[in-house]
Structure 1
């Protein structure tokens, strides 16, 4: 379990700077602070809801499933950014 948790933490730490960089490149400098603020709002809501959802899944199916589920959501969010954000 510790290895899965560490892998999830490392993966998450690698993804967020990429998200911030993508937002910074895709927005006008006058809107950049607002866009990053909105991103951080959704990110923080993800922490709260992620904790609740992973707790429910861990109780229902086990800790391994909860870790995998959150990892999959993290990967899906990066795919959404790849599809929705314009390339410069």
Structure 2
């Protein structure tokens, strides 16, 4: 088991990856913070959202409401005013 320490670099907090893990430079990862506070990095190309157990109890309805609050309106309740293409 390796131990790393979070540090500030510019406007980010950085966790280093030990060289022994043989991570190729430029490899992209998705990052998920688990309910227990742990942080899970998974290679982007191999990420399977359907197998991600951290989303098992995700409250999608609450997230939708947060997005509406952030937008300031519900897009489904707004009548198009320009040349928006309507679904037939």
TM-score range, shorter chain: under 0.3
TM-score calculated relative to the size of structure 2: 0.21
Instruction: Name which one, 1 or 2, has greater alpha-carbon Rg.
Output: 2
Instruction: Indicate the structure whose relative CO is greater, using CA pairs within 8 Å and at least 6 residues apart.
Output: 1
TM-score calculated relative to the size of structure 1: 0.21
In proportion to residue count, which structure has more helix? 1
In proportion to residue count, which structure has more strand? 2
